Amino acid sequence: MSCNVGGVDRVLRIVAGLAILGAGAFGPLGWWGLIGLVPLATGVIRFCPAYTLLGIRTCAAETPAG
């Protein structure tokens, strides 16, 4: 898995994931709030399977080591 989630995208995913989880825990979403784990996880690991399928890449190009 190579990185396909960039810096701003990553921060937005983590914030949105935490907000959805919070709304599930303390607000009206209830168990539906667990869907917040998806953007949170993709932000933390910097990889989004949907981006791969759609050919999207928001992170900078990786330079080869060596």
Question: How many C-alpha atoms does 1 have within 13 Å on its Cβ side?
Answer: 12
Q: Quick: pLDDT tens for 3-28.
A: 999 999 999 999 999 999 999 999 88
Q: Establish how many alpha carbons lie within 13 A of residue 19's alpha carbon, considering only the half-sphere containing its beta carbon.
A: 6
> pTM (2 decimals)?
0.85
Let me know: does 16 contact 42? Beta carbons within 8 Å: no
What pLDDT does 64 receive?
Answer: 60
Residue 62, pLDDT > 80, answer: no
Q: What percent of the chain has pLDDT over 70?
A: 92
Q: What is the mean pLDDT of residues 61-66?
A: 60
The residue with tokens 């810096």 is 7
Beta strand extents in 1-66 (DSSP E only): none
DSSP state of 58: -
Measured from the Cβ of residue 12, the count of other Cβ atoms closer than 10 Å reads 13
